[in-house]
Structure 1
């Protein structure tokens, strides 16, 4: 059975990558969506109106991902963060953030696999996604390492503020922007610091790439805009009148995303870091 699952997984991955590249090409060939019309009709957030934000209770389940937590805080996912289907996660993330359908299948399927559940029929609580060294990893930009804290479901506000202060880009109106070099510099500092402070620190290429990928959503989905990232990272709340900054008709594909992720990771320097 294990061998059959591996074979099936291999062919599923080939299909998803082919599907994703096809959507990447279609995004090039088709007109972009118009600002103000990114979130589809009948979905939460359509017409730039998000459901009411309600902070989580202590009994609610939350993950290490600010974006998923925000969806629960606004009731797009169950507010208690529990008993969510992987297929529901796929649909809601697609609608809320304009990720490509290939992307929105791949990540929940990966999550189902590391939790040893069926993507098609399984359910999960948000906190379960914080399984260490699956999607959650050391040297996060918004969380202390799992070895140092007991709850990965809450942001570390000191870390968030340090990240936001890295922004050097500016929009025409003077608003601050995070840039690729800013993100690389922030990741460099975190990895160096975590090696010093966490005796159980772990790092490999997979973890580093996942860290750069998680962080790069700030540059793609949020366009690096500090005004938008501040409520999302500090309160895990959608900004008022917000919508995804990705205008591609078929959403952000993994192929396109890598044009941001790879430069971010290449820019990480951990041997010598200026403090």
Structure 2
């Protein structure tokens, strides 16, 4: 990454902090008004779910795949612009504008594409490389060295993850907690080290793995009833809406308050 990329990242981090401060001093959104009026998912009304065809392109990310399965992104998962991904993800999940620029811009970088003018397919995001997003020991996918097609969830892994849930809401719904997620990541990394002869791990990929997983606690509030259709079918639960009520969306600064404790709680040695 050159000086230009570093300056862009620093600018985005500053932007993110401004948004985080603005969220502190503005009223929260109403729970049924998180997705903007006129956008797919407003008041929990999602477009029709259609399972992907074999020819469709899908990524290792259940949330992006769900957007394609519901027609929010192109249903075939192809020929998407990075700004389109930015705007659609923000509308759908209530991530902050800074967050929604940073990740697609980072993706364009590792794909050696132009954020402003190039296009990509969802499967492109599953590039398994040192500087890319896709990583070993995913909680919903077998490692790429074992299963090259990262577009489909491994249902046994999903089952094992949801079985870790120990939390409860006041109305008795089952929740994944930070400690549950740390434990699931610990077990998954320990197992991946044993079963994948090409297993690779780095601080960068561990943090990305913790971040990807932590969306289950932030955007989905940890609710297993909502996570089950998302992780198994890559489908929005009926009437579901994002759990983040911050007026300007979930910032990276606030998100790290979940990611860092989850990653600190990982103890692979306990399961080796």
Within the candidate set 3, 10, 23, 2:6 is matched to 10
State whether structure 2 residue 72 is matched by structure 1 residue 69: no
Find the counterpart in structure 2 of residue 89 from structure 1: 85
Task: State the shift of 1:47 in Å.
Answer: 2.0
Within the candidate set 132, 151, 154, 1:153 is matched to 151
Aligned counterparts of 1:29 and 1:150: Cα–Cα separation in 2: 46
Task: State the shift of 1:64 in Å.
Answer: 0.1
Shift >6 Å, 4+ stretches: none
Write the mapping of 1:1-275 to structure 2, written as runs, cut at 5 A: 6-133=2-129, 134-273=132-271
Task: State the shift of 1:10 in Å.
Answer: 1.0
The TM-score, its normalising length taken from structure 1, stands at: 0.97
Aligned counterparts of 2:35 and 2:171: Cα–Cα separation in 1: 25
Aligned counterparts of 1:270 and 1:263: Cα–Cα separation in 2: 15
Aligned counterparts of 2:181 and 2:43: Cα–Cα separation in 1: 31
Aligned counterparts of 1:153 and 1:98: Cα–Cα separation in 2: 24
* Structure 1 residue ranges without an equivalent (≥5): none
SS in 1 for 2:269: coil
Aligned counterparts of 1:39 and 1:9: Cα–Cα separation in 2: 31
Task: State the shift of 1:72 in Å.
Answer: 0.1
Aligned counterparts of 1:36 and 1:56: Cα–Cα separation in 2: 28
Task: State the shift of 1:273 in Å.
Answer: 2.3
Task: State the shift of 1:272 in Å.
Answer: 1.5
Task: State the shift of 1:7 in Å.
Answer: 1.2
Aligned counterparts of 2:202 and 2:10: Cα–Cα separation in 1: 24
Aligned counterparts of 2:6 and 2:60: Cα–Cα separation in 1: 28
Task: State the shift of 1:172 in Å.
Answer: 1.3
The TM-score, its normalising length taken from structure 2, stands at: 0.98
SS in 2 for 1:271: helix
The aligned length equals 270
Aligned counterparts of 1:199 and 1:183: Cα–Cα separation in 2: 25
User: RMSD between aligned alpha carbons?
Assistant: 0.8
SS in 2 for 1:272: helix
Task: State the shift of 1:150 in Å.
Answer: 2.3
Task: State the shift of 1:173 in Å.
Answer: 1.6
Aligned counterparts of 2:8 and 2:134: Cα–Cα separation in 1: 23
Show CA shifts across 1:198-231 (max 9, x none).
0100001001000000000000000000000000
